[in-house]
Amino acid sequence: MNAQAPASRDTRLNRPEPFTPPLGDGGFFRRDRSIHPPAHAPGYKSSVLRSPRQSLLSLENSVSEITGPVFGHNDLGPLDNDLIRNYAKDGDPVGERIIVHGRVLDETGRGVPNTLVEFWQANAGGRYRHKKDTYLAPIDPNFGGCGRALTDDTGYYYFRTVKPGPYPWRNYVNSWRPAHIHFSVFGSGFAQRLITQMYFEGDPLIPICPILTTIPDKDALDRLVAPLDLNASTPFDSLAYRFDIVLRGQRSTYFENRTAGN
Amino acid sequence: MPQPLNYLKETASQTAGPYVHIGLIPAMAGFDIFEKNFSNVLVTPDTQGDRITLEGKVLDGTGSPLRDVLLEIWQANAAGRYNHPADRSAGALDQDFRGWGRAGSDFDSGLVTFETIKPGAITDKSGRKCAPHVNVWIVARGINIGLNTRLYFSDEEAANAADPVLNLIEQQVRRKTLIATRSERAGKVVYSFTINLQGPDETVFFDV
């Protein structure tokens, strides 16, 4: 027998494991709810009856929260990130052609690789291809209004579409949504799951939107507004907007498994 | 001034809105666009485990079902293992089970269903067994940030009684809001649940 105790078992100090790096347990950073809209936001009337009133129960992240579904290129089709072509029947959809691109990052600034990003929107007239949408603006026969992409190794994603129009909705009698694109993002763990909306720089409806103004933090609201990115535009073809999305940071498990948290 | 930490801030959540189906379940919006679609069926014929149906509704503060809600579930396989590299527990992976699905409620009844398998008990980091459960995420018009809850199984009384998360719920009476009730219908096992967004029976939601 080797008389020397293994390094991981210093029985004198009753310390069975070596001191591990900080940020090493794989859980996510606590969500800062002060930058998110509260569940109950009376100015957005639909939230009143659909908002929990009890405190959320804080849950230390377990394997159920730090894991989440894994997607791959097999889940997607070749036209999924091209909304100009993925529903075209006899021509291109009507509207301003735009490219939307950006990175999915986490709060540490690292790109989130190979994660699924889904997006949906109204057409250029502000009408959704949805059987429950009855707005008088016409359906565009060549526009579906949805797509998806997988981020690359650096967290980068991009897609092509037409700029959505604003539209009226029933909140106050004369409420209008600013032009926006809905985003759904996964991240590496189910606790990072996020749905949000991207808005366009300069839209005068932004400061008076009852949904946008549920966000209590001015900077957080500004981060939902995509700037025009002329450098990424295609001359004589499409303007471009840049939209980065930040998911919760992770107390990385990189010493044991790089894929889990980087 | 000390050194800045330079963490980024999470992007703010926004409601999924009434037309969430366009992006996430286009067939429900009324059209066909993608070659491959995600659905509420988590199983293939080759998936291992006992087939179950999860069936339920999400109710608003008046007790009325939400008819435009979208649920996603994330669960371990029959051996209690999540199909993700961060789960390093001993149970075998099942290549025919991703463990994730999404469903929109029926536009008339508000009913939400999933076809899946009953997950095995999960082993947490300290080696404790956790009762079998399904993680649930809820979005809809009027829900400003996705709601996280769990479903446990009514026929797992002993495991539920020892589950570390259920035992975190101070008021015993609230624990039952997370228990789906087992029944059999035409030879199929169905677990029924009700998620109450408000009211005396408000479901326990988690800040995960």
Q: Note down pLDDT in tens along chain A; length 262 residues.
A: 444 444 444 455 665 666 666 666 789 999 999 999 999 999 999 999 999 999 999 999 999 999 999 999 999 999 999 999 999 999 999 999 999 999 999 999 999 999 999 999 999 999 999 999 999 999 999 999 999 999 999 999 999 999 999 999 999 999 999 999 999 999 999 999 999 999 999 999 999 999 999 999 999 999 999 999 999 999 999 999 999 999 999 987 544 444 444 3
Nearest to A27 by CA among A257, A252, A256, A259: A252
For the segment B137-187, what is each residue's pLDDT rounded down to a tens digit? 999 999 999 999 999 999 999 999 999 999 999 999 999 999 999 999 999
Query: What secondary structure letter does DSSP report for A17?
Result: S
The residue among A171, A196, A168 whose CA lies nearest residue A181 is A196
DSSP E strands in A64-145: the ranges are 97-106, 116-121
Residue B175 DSSP label: H
Residues in chain A closer than 8 A to B204 (CB atoms): 54, 57
Strand, helix or coil for residue A221: helix
Q: What tokens were used for B153?
A: 């199984």
> What is the residue whose two structure tokens read 């839209």?
A203
- B146 and A196 in contact by Cβ < 8 A? no
Res B89: pLDDT: 86
Tens-digit pLDDT profile for residues B20-59 = 999 999 999 999 999 999 999 999 999 999 999 999 999 9
Q: Which two tokens stand for residue A250?
A: 């992770």
Q: What is the pLDDT of residue A21?
A: 67
Which pLDDT tens digit goes with each residue over B122-137?
A: 988 778 889 999 999 9
Q: How far is CA A166 from CA A142, A193, A238, in A?
A: 19, 27, 20
Average confidence score pLDDT of chain A: 91
CB distance A48 to A15 below 8 Å:
no
pLDDT of A2 reads 44
Which among A131, A157, A125 is positioned nearest to A143, based on CA atoms?
A125
Question: Which helix (H) or strand (E) is B74 found in, with range?
Answer: strand B70-75
**In the block, which residue shows the tokens 């006899």?**
A90
> Contact B7/A26, CB-based, under 8 Å?
no
Identify the closest residue of chain B to A25 by CA–CA distance. Answer: B125
Backbone angles phi, psi at A197, to 5 degrees: -135, 140
Residue of A25, A190, A224 with shortest CB distance to B12: A224
CA distance A236 to chain B (A): 28
Give the integer Cα–Cα distance in Å for B93 and A246. 30
Q: What amino acid is encoded at A13 in this protein?
A: L
Inter-chain touch A249–B7, beta carbons under 8 Å: yes
Min Cα distance A231 → chain B (Å) is 24
Is B14 in Cβ contact with A37 (below 8 Å)?
yes
Nearest CA in chain B to A49: B61
* β-pair partners for B68: none
Contact assignment for A193 to B146 by CB distance below 8 Å? yes
pLDDT of A22 reads 66
Tokens representing B72 are 């996603």
Q: Chain B: residue nearest A76 by CA?
A: B36
Q: What is the pLDDT of residue A24?
A: 63
